[in-house]
Amino acid sequence: MDQRKVTLTIASLFISGSAIFFPATGNAEPAGAPGGVVQSGRASWYGPGFHGRRTASGETFNTNALTAAHRTLPFGTKVRVVNKKTGKSVIVRINDRGPYAHGRVIDLSKASAQAIGLSGVASVTVAQL
């Protein structure tokens, strides 16, 4: 790999703001992803035991709202989550921290997961809006 490709690859890992995304390789950019800010990985959902409890952002968690937990994105950030298997997408607002399970990139509320046909764990693409 030549120096220019290495520099471009490293530069693509750092995005302004507090979030760092690793661009998906070989995947088309989802609609609504400014500048190709994309993250691919596994998603899960959470809710029953957390409904009514305080989130990391300070608001009360509502399993019926279109929200999600992400490790680094600022609270209030909206992202489009696409289930790779079903092709369905949902726009969610980040209001909590997580997921804490290894290998997962986002935890969705129950309503968000249902909107994209996720019932356990699924492969998804996350694009910041």
Is 93 or 17 the better-scoring residue by pLDDT?
A: 93
User: Which residues constitute the domain of residue 119?
Assistant: 3-128
DSSP state of 60: B
What's the rounded Cα separation, in Å, for the pair 65 and 101? 22
Q: What is the pTM of this model?
A: 0.72
Torsion angle, alpha carbons of 7, 8, 13, 18, to 10: 90
Q: Is pLDDT at 16 greater than 50 in this prediction? A: no
Q: Are strands 78-83 and 122-128 parallel, antiparallel or unpaired?
A: antiparallel
- The CATH number of whichever domain residue 31 belongs to comes to 2.40.40.10
pLDDT digits (tens, 9 = 90+) for 86-110: 999 999 999 999 998 888 999 999 9
Identity (one letter) of the amino acid at 118?
L
Tokens representing residue 102 in the block: 């290894």
Counting the structural domains of the chain, the total is 1
Overall average pLDDT of the 105-117 stretch: 97
Tens-place pLDDT, residues 31-79: 555 554 589 999 999 978 899 999 999 999 999 999 999 999 999 999 9
CB 115, CB 80: distance < 8 Å: no
